[in-house]
């Protein structure tokens, strides 16, 4: 019905969303109701408005009926506002003359009774608002043609290489002295038993030499400003006290340094010097000096052995930290994971017994560059029996409710490695479920569960050295119910390897804050959509890949890294980025220059300036403005309004909802 | 002398109020990891371990759990409940099973008498009265006292046996509580 | 330091020495314990096998009485403590449980509104009195005495969670070290003693007790924080010995008894003559033993 004044012609489209909406809301009744509303030219409903035939309905009506407003009553705008805006644009209608009315998340999904009535109220409000919608133009800004990759593990390395190969510039920032992350600590990788270093070191070398990659190790991102397409990041380059340009990596300084410290790379099982590269294949192969263990720093100038022996004069003990600013169009966060400290779980004895170790510590024992040169030796002896305990701190509401995903597989790998290196060794796998879901995983289970490996289904209650029989003397005893037999077993072993949960980095919260990201309930950085947008985040232009997003193995990490690279390339490849038009705007005649908008804005968008006037007046940097509306609320004179959310539009909605004229 | 439940049909989990009133009693959450049993100091003596009891409950086979007598061996140390990764209140469920075992006559008569004798003295005096308890417990079978002889003598010698019953002024109140509990719980 | 005090039924019988030593030691430390008037049995380990509601209402009545008294309610019996705090916790968490329990309490003319504050004796000793105060009052440091601290189990999830660690508690170790004793690494320090199984299922109960005695190794004595553990470890040493094929004669003391010795209180006041396994020999060990640095608690954990 209804020809409106000013010739506003509104089309209202109700989506059934299968049975998601139609199951609770009477869509026919809703459509009939909508048709009677003022200025509504046509009202229709369809099973899936977002599908091609659904979209076609709108397109046809715009063309044939001359619609100049579109209201889609369907799911949350977060799902398909972009879709329907594109539909409008295709037919020459300004995308901001579309309004999405959420009758799913806000209606059919949360009510059983009264859903139709509520939907009518919502649609009525939507139509009232749509009447006052105005066309808006989006500005284009150029995109900085570079990408910042934060974290130099396998995820960061892969992403960086792919972006660089596509011809774009990458800044790869890593906080440790070398790239490689956790993967370079590993010995062999499942399910192929590839040597980790063999497959990783070539890529590590590549990120150093690639002409498009600027590698900054021993550095951290400390500040990020800006918006999608135009980020400004400040990077703190910590002083190595060694000149990277002069150092040849000969290693003599490390040899001659008399001061030792616990090696973080070896998980505290071995030692390093005060001047050190974390491992022999470090990239860059330039050592750093640790001022907390270097006597030159601790005792004011004593020692200086490295200075003396360095033939190139590369040691520079006066180095200071440097701040570097880079401009990038996209950011990829690949900061990785921490392994949970099993000390919390006292009953497993990690605190008490030196022969209870974590999986990462075991990897270091197996690794040829490790503290035992690859021999599995604990307390000076090769263990003849090893217990591997799964699910330590994972699948447990007291620590981490989630499954850590990789442990079943690497536990099998350990069994294989032990069998390979210690003849006749017995391995006991204490598991609850065997999770071998990936390609080649089940086959690996078959292969690695052979002779010498016993699977005991049960979660061990404790590890004790209290011997109750002769065969337990001098050993560690794992006490566990064998749930398949139904009785409690005591299994004496020489070594216990724990599989602790992968957890979010200790500073995940700070990283989230730095890059304006959210964390999932489990502490890891949150993706935008669990199924369809696994690497995008709530912050446009920032992507999170690898274990920073959740526990996963190397194949999945690489896949995500490449996905992140694709996202970043798509973004900067366009060359420009459209700015959201729904931003704040200041009516200068009303502005009193009080500055409250400046105070309240988190994004530093409003700025007061005099520009030759008597009093300063606010103006909004539309590139920084997120359209949140805080300034509009704070403004005492009402000088600030938000485009696409004007007072008139919002009040029209309220009036329609409440039935009370405003 | 049963609590208010109906027998469970297989595959249906009809809730027993004495179980459902408990905090965190959802045995359906148990994923059978066995940590409870591994932590249990008396599991070795049980016909069905605590984990198996949880499984029986999940399957609706509560009669077998009750008949097994496992609940009687639970000392309520709460190690299982503390450690359970799914938050199942194992101890409280074992206590519920224990109640049913005693109520449905699956325990040795002397064990049942043990519980009844204890509660009776509390009901009568408001506090536990050891001598009366011993009298009630051993009366039907005085020969069993032989095993306790040494312990009893030591206690007597050390002056740790009070012959006089305790005096609680509000003893009648306690008895009223007992009656009310029996009424609410449908016990005779 | 004023407290309402819940003695528990065993205090006049099998746990008489625990009660006597609690009174003597707390008095000497300046803590006033006023017996909760007209208290009733908390249900021990038995009520829970007969009636769920009684297992909560019997302790709740005492909580209701304590609310009137307006001071913290202290008990020295771990099982009583557990029953009381379970009543606090479950009535708080579940409205229908709270309602039914109050129905029973109404029969007794009281109501429990959730305000009573419950404290365990160890908590009061360590946190209210304080280890430094105790250290000052020690007149007979227990140097030379090798003590195995036995925390018992009931205390775990319900007690130690309030003021120590559940799986690896150390408050008792610290207390004993403050008294000057050499605290032995006791692997089963939080393992259950079997509670009333020693009477209702002798074989199982005695088995657990024998494990506990065996694990004490060459300690001069075991000190417990629970009267029921005390009774079990004291009274079944012969049977435990038969199970392990050996002979046990380890003195087992209650926590306030050993405190009393270090504080120089007279034997009779601590009820030491009532302990089933004679403790006289310990005095000689204290006098003769080599000086051991005090104040260092064992860093061991339970196994």
- Please tell me the predicted confidence (pLDDT) of residue A383: 97
- Please tell me the predicted confidence (pLDDT) of residue B10: 34
- Both C109 and C185 in one domain: the answer is no
Q: Write out pLDDT tens, residues A612-628.
A: 888 899 999 888 888 99
Q: Give how many domains chain C has, as a whole number.
A: 2
Answer whether C41's CB lies under 8 Å from C57's CB: no
- Please tell me the predicted confidence (pLDDT) of residue A6: 67
- Please tell me the predicted confidence (pLDDT) of residue C129: 93
Q: B75 or B167: which carries more pLDDT confidence? A: B75
- Is the residue at C137 inside a domain? yes
Range of C112's domain? 2-120
Considering only CA atoms, give the Rg of chain C: 19
The answer to whether residue B8 scores a pLDDT higher than 60 is no
Mean pLDDT of C163-173: 89
Place of tokens 């002979």: C247
- Both C57 and C152 in one domain: the answer is no
- Both C6 and C107 in one domain: the answer is yes
3-state DSSP assignment of residue A506: coil
Q: Choosing among A350, A465, A466, A492, which should be mutated to test the C contact, i.e. which has the most C CBs within 10 A?
A: A466
Fold of A339-503: FAD/NAD(P)-binding domain (3.50.50)
The answer to whether residue C295 scores a pLDDT higher than 50 is no
Closest-CA distance of chain C to residue A355, Å: 15
| Main-chain phi, psi angles of A395, to 5 degrees | 55, 40
The answer to whether residue B30 scores a pLDDT higher than 70 is yes
DSSP H or E stretch at residue A490: strand A487-493
B72 touches chain C (CB under 8 A): yes
| Main-chain phi, psi angles of A558, to 5 degrees | -65, -45
Which stretches of chain A drop beneath a pLDDT of 70?
1-6, 662
Nearest alpha carbon to residue C85 among B127, B74, B76: B76
d(CA C86, CA A322): 59
Instruction: Considering only the beta carbons, identify the residue of C157, C195, C235 that sits closest to B81.
Output: C157
> What Å distances lie between residue C295 and A44, C132, C160, CA to CA?
83, 10, 21
Nearest alpha carbon to residue C117 among C151, C165, C53, C162: C162
Boundary (domain end) residue, out of C73, C88, C120: C120
Looking at residue A106, the DSSP 8-state letter turns out to be I
Strands (DSSP E) found in A193-334: 194-195, 213-216, 219-227, 230-237, 260-262, 271-273, 275-276, 288-289, 322-328, 330-333
Average pLDDT, chain B: 81
Q: Do B184 and C103 touch (CB under 8 A)?
A: yes
Which residues fall within 8 angstroms of residue A574, CB to CB, at 6 or more apart?
A143
C111 touches chain B (CB under 8 A): no
Three-state helix/strand/coil letters over A58-99: HHHHHHHHCCCEEEEEECCHHHHHHHHHHHHHHCCCCHHHEE
Average pLDDT, chain A: 94
Q: Residue A176: how many CB atoms within 10 A of its CB?
A: 19
- Both C156 and C272 in one domain: the answer is yes
Q: Cα A294 to the chain's mean position, in Å?
A: 36
The residue of chain C with its CA nearest to that of B129 is C9
- Identify the contact set of chain A against chain C, taking CB-CB distances under 8 A: 346-347, 349, 351-352, 462-466
Count of A-C CB contacts under 8 Å: 23
In order, the DSSP letters of A372-420 are: TTT---BTTB--SEEEEEEEESSS-TTS--S--SSHHHHHHHHHHHHHH
Three-state helix/strand/coil letters over chain B: CCCCCCCCCCCCCCCCHHHHCCCCCCHHHCCCCCHHHHHCCCHHHCCCCHHHHHHHHHCCCHHHHHHHCHHHHCCCCCHHHHHCCCCCCHHHHHHHHHHHHHHCCCCCHHHHHHHHHHHHHHHHHCCCCHHHHHHHHHCCCHHHHHHHHHHHHHHHHCCCCCCCCCCCCCHHHHHHHHHHHHHHCCCC
Mean pLDDT of C291-300: 41
| Main-chain phi, psi angles of A606, to 5 degrees | -75, 145
Q: Do C187 and A349 touch (CB under 8 A)?
A: no
Q: Write out pLDDT tens, residues B140-161.
A: 877 777 767 777 777 777 777 7
Encoded tokens for B100: 């049913």
- CATH number, position C266: 3.40.50.11810
Q: Choosing among C39, C44, C49, which should be mutated to test the B contact, i.e. which has the most B CBs within 10 A?
A: C49
- Both C173 and C268 in one domain: the answer is yes
Confidence tier at C155 by pLDDT (50, 70, 90): low
d(CA C289, CA C221): 14
Instruction: Considering only the beta carbons, identify the residue of B150, B166, B168 that sits closest to C12.
Output: B166
Instruction: Considering only the beta carbons, identify the residue of A396, A461, A482 that sits closest to B39.
Output: A461
Residues in chain B with CB shorter than 8 Å from the CB of C14 are 130, 155, 160
d(CA B151, CA C239): 11
Q: Write out pLDDT tens, residues C108-147.
A: 999 998 888 899 999 999 999 999 999 999 999 999 899 9
Q: Do B76 and C45 touch (CB under 8 A)?
A: yes
Instruction: Considering only the beta carbons, identify the residue of C38, C44, C53 that sits closest to B169.
Output: C38
- Is the residue at C67 inside a domain? yes
Q: At what angle do helices A407-421 and A441-448 cross, to 10 degrees?
A: 40
Residues in chain B with CB shorter than 8 Å from the CB of C13 are 130, 155, 160-162
Q: Do B78 and C9 touch (CB under 8 A)?
A: no
- Is the residue at C268 inside a domain? yes
B105 touches chain C (CB under 8 A): no
Q: Are strands A330-333 and A542-544 parallel, antiparallel or unpaired?
A: parallel
**Exposure letters B71-102 (e unless 16+ CB within 10 A, then b):** bbbbbbbbbbbbbbbbbbbbbbbbbbbbbbbb
- Both C171 and C236 in one domain: the answer is yes
Place of tokens 């590549």: A206
The residue of chain B with its CA nearest to that of A398 is B85
- Both C110 and C73 in one domain: the answer is yes
Average pLDDT, chain C: 88
Q: Residue B61: how many CB atoms within 10 A of its CB?
A: 16
Q: Domain locations in chain A? A: 5-131, 146-237+321-336+506-573, 252-309, 339-503, 584-642
- Please tell me the predicted confidence (pLDDT) of residue C106: 94
- CATH (one of 3.50.50.60, 1.20.210.10, 3.60.20.10, 3.10.310.30) for A146-237+321-336+506-573: 3.50.50.60
The residue of chain A with its CA nearest to that of B85 is A396
Q: Omega before B172 cis (within 30°)?
A: no
- Both C19 and C83 in one domain: the answer is yes
Instruction: Considering only the beta carbons, identify the residue of C168, C187, C215 that sits closest to A346.
Output: C168
Q: Omega before A337 cis (within 30°)?
A: no
- Is the residue at C281 inside a domain? yes
The residue of chain B with its CA nearest to that of C271 is B158
Confidence tier at C299 by pLDDT (50, 70, 90): very low
Nearest alpha carbon to residue C271 among C41, C76, C91, C106: C76
Q: What structural domains does chain B harbor?
A: 17-103 (1.10.1060.10), 109-184 (no CATH)
The answer to whether residue C21 scores a pLDDT higher than 50 is yes
Three-state helix/strand/coil letters over chain C: CEEEEECCHHHHCCCHHHHHHHHHHHHHCCCEEEECCCCCCCCCCCHHHCCHHHHHHHHHHHHHHHHHHCCCEEECCHHHHHHHHHHHHHHHHCHHHHHHHHHHHHHCCCCCCCCCCEEEHHHHHHHHHHHHHHHHHCCCCCCCCEEEEECCCCHHHHHHHHHCCCCCCCHHHHHHHHCCCEECCCCCCCCCCCCCHHHHCHHHHHHHHHHHHHHCCCCCEEEECCHHHHHHHHHCHHHHHHHHCCCCCCCEEEHHHHHHHHCCCCCHHHCHHHCCCCCHHHHHHHHHCCCCCCCCCCCCCCC
- Percent with pLDDT over 90 in chain C: 58
- Both C105 and C169 in one domain: the answer is no
Boundary (domain end) residue, out of C120, C145, C172: C120
Fold of A584-642: Alpha-Beta Plaits (3.30.70)
The answer to whether residue C22 scores a pLDDT higher than 80 is yes
- Both C142 and C114 in one domain: the answer is no
- Identify the contact set of chain C against chain A, taking CB-CB distances under 8 A: 165, 167-168, 187-188, 215, 300-303
- Both C85 and C233 in one domain: the answer is no
> What Å distances lie between residue A188 and A198, A360, A369, A489, B86, CA to CA?
9, 12, 13, 32, 33
- CATH number, position C67: 1.20.1050.140
Q: Are strands A213-216 and A275-276 parallel, antiparallel or unpaired?
A: unpaired
Fold of A5-131: Rossmann fold (3.40.50)
Q: Choosing among B122, B124, B132, B166, which should be mutated to test the C contact, i.e. which has the most C CBs within 10 A?
A: B122
DSSP H or E stretch at residue A11: strand A10-15
Instruction: Considering only the beta carbons, identify the residue of B72, B128, B160 that sits closest to C41.
Output: B128
Residues in chain C with CB shorter than 8 Å from the CB of A346 are 165, 167-168, 301-302
- Both C105 and C218 in one domain: the answer is no
């Amino acid at each position: 019905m209804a020809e409106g004044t000013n010739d506003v012609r509104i089309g209202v489209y109700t989506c059934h969303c299968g049975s998601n909406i139609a199951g609770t809301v009477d869509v026919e009744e809703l459509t009939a109701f909508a048709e009677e509303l003022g200025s509504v030219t046509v009202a229709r409903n369809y099973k899936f408005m977002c599908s091609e035939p659904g979209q076609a309905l709108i397109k046809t009506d715009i063309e044939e009926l001359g619609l100049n407003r579109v209201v889609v009553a369907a799911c949350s705008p977060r799902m398909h506002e972009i879709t329907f805006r594109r539909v409008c644009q295709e037919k020459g209608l300004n995308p901001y003359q579309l309004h999405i009315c959420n009758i799913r998340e806000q209606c059919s999904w949360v009510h059983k009774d009264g859903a139709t009535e509520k939907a009518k109220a919502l649609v009525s409000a939507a139509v009232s608002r749509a009447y006052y919608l105005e066309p808006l133009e989006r500005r284009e800004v150029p995109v900085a043609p570079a990408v910042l990759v934060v974290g130099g593990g396998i995820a960061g390395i892969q992403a960086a290489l792919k972006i660089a190969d596509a011809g774009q510039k990458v800044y790869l920032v890593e906080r440790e002295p070398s790239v490689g992350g956790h993967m370079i600590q590993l010995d062999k990788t499942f399910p192929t038993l590839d040597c980790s270093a063999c497959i990783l070191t070539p890529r590590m070398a590549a990120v150093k030499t690639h002409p498009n990659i600027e590698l900054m190790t021993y550095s951290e991102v400390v500040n990020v400003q800006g918006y999608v397409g135009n980020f400004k990041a400040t990077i703190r380059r910590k002083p190595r006290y060694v000149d990277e340009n002069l150092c040849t990596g000969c290693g003599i300084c490390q040899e001659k340094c008399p001061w030792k410290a616990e090696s973080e790379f070896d998980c505290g099982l071995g030692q390093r010097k005060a001047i050190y590269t974390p491992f022999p294949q470090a990239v860059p192969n330039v050592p750093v000096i640790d001022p907390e263990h270097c006597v030159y720093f601790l005792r004011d100038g004593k020692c200086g052995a490295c200075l003396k022996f360095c033939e190139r004069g590369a040691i520079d003990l006066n180095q200071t930290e440097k701040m570097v600013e880079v401009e990038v169009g996209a950011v990829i966060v690949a900061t990785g994971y921490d392994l949970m400290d099993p000390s919390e779980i006292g009953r497993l004895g990690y605190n008490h017994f030196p022969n209870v170790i974590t999986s990462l510590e075991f990897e270091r024992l197996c690794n040829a560059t490790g503290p035992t040169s690859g021999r599995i030796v604990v307390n000076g002896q090769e263990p003849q029996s090893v217990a591997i305990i799964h699910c330590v701190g994972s699948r447990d509401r007291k620590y981490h409710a989630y499954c850590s995903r990789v442990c079943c597989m690497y536990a099998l790998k350990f069994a294989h490695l032990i069998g390979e290196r210690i003849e006749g060794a017995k391995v006991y796998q204490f598991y609850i479920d065997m999770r071998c879901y990936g390609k080649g995983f089940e086959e690996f289970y078959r292969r690695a569960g052979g002779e010498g490996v016993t699977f005991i289904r049960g979660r061990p209650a404790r590890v004790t050295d209290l011997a109750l029989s002769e065969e337990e003397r001098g050993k560690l005893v794992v006490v566990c119910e064998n749930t398949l037999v139904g009785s409690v077993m005591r299994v004496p072993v020489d070594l216990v390897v724990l599989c602790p949960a992968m957890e979010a980095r200790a500073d995940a919260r700070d990283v989230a804050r730095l890059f304006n990201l959210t964390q999932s309930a489990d502490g890891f950085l949150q993706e935008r959509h669990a199924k369809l947008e696994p690497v995008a985040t709530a912050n446009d232009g920032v992507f999170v890949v690898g274990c920073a997003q959740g526990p996963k193995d190397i194949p999945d990490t690489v896949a995500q890294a490449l996905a992140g690279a694709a996202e970043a390339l798509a973004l900067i490849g366009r060359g420009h980025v459209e700015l959201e038009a729904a931003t704040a705007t200041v009516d200068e005649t009303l502005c009193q220059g009080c500055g409250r908008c400046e105070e309240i804005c988190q994004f530093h968008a409003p700025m007061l300036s005099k520009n030759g006037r008597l009093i300063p007046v606010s103006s909004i940097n539309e590139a920084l403005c997120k359209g949140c509306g805080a300034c509009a609320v704070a403004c005492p004179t009402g000088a600030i309004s938000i485009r696409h959310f004007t007072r008139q539009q919002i009040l029209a909605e309220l009036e329609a909802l409440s039935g009370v004229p405003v | 002398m049963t609590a208010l439940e109906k027998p469970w049909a297989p595959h249906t989990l009809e809730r027993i109020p004495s179980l459902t009133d408990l905090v965190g009693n959802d045995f359906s959450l148990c994923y059978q990891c066995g940590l409870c049993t591994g932590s249990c100091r008396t599991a070795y003596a049980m016909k069905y371990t605590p984990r198996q009891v949880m499984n029986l409950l999940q399957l609706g086979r509560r009669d077998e759990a009750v008949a097994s007598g496992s609940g009687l061996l639970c000392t309520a140390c709460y190690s299982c409940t503390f450690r359970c990764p799914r938050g199942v209140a194992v101890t409280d469920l074992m206590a519920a099973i224990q109640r049913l075992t005693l109520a449905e006559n699956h325990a040795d008569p002397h064990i049942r008498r043990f519980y009844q004798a204890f509660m009776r003295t509390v009901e009568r005096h408001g506090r536990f009265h050891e001598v009366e308890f011993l009298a009630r417990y051993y009366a039907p079978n005085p020969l069993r006292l032989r095993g306790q002889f040494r312990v009893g003598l030591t206690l007597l010698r050390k002056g740790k046996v009070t012959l006089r019953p305790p005096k609680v002024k509000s003893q009648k109140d306690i008895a009223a509580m007992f009656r009310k509990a029996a009424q609410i719980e449908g016990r005779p | 330091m004023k407290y309402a005090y819940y003695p528990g039924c065993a205090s006049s019988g099998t746990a008489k020495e625990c009660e006597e030593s609690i009174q003597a030691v707390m008095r000497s430390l300046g803590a006033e314990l006023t017996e909760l008037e007209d208290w009733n049995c908390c249900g021990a380990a038995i009520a829970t096998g007969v009636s769920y509601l009684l297992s909560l209402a019997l302790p709740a009545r005492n909580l209701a009485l304590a609310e009137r008294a307006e001071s913290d309610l202290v008990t020295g019996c771990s099982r009583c403590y557990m029953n009381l705090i379970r009543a606090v916790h479950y009535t708080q968490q579940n409205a229908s449980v709270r309602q039914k329990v109050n129905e029973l309490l109404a029969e007794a003319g009281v109501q429990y509104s959730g305000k009573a504050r419950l404290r365990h004796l160890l908590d009061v000793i360590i946190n209210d009195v304080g280890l430094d105060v105790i250290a000052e009052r020690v007149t007979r440091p227990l140097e030379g005495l090798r003590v195995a601290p036995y925390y018992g189990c009931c205390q775990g999830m319900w007690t130690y969670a309030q003021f120590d660690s559940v799986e690896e508690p150390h408050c008792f170790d610290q207390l004993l070290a403050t008294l000057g004793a050499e605290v032995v690494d006791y692997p089963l320090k939080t393992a259950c003693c079997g509670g009333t199984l020693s009477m209702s299922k002798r074989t199982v109960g005695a088995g657990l007790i024998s494990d506990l005695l065996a694990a004490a190794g060459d300690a001069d004595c075991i000190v417990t924080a629970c009267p029921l553990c005390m009774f079990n470890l004291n009274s079944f040493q012969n049977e435990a010995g038969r199970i392990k094929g050996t002979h046990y004669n380890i003195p087992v003391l209650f926590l306030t008894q050993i405190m009393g010795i270090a504080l120089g209180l007279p034997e009779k006041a601590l009820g030491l003559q009532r302990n089933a396994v004679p403790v006289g020999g310990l005095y000689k060990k204290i006098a003769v033993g080599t000086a051991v640095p005090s104040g260092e608690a064992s860093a061991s954990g339970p196994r």
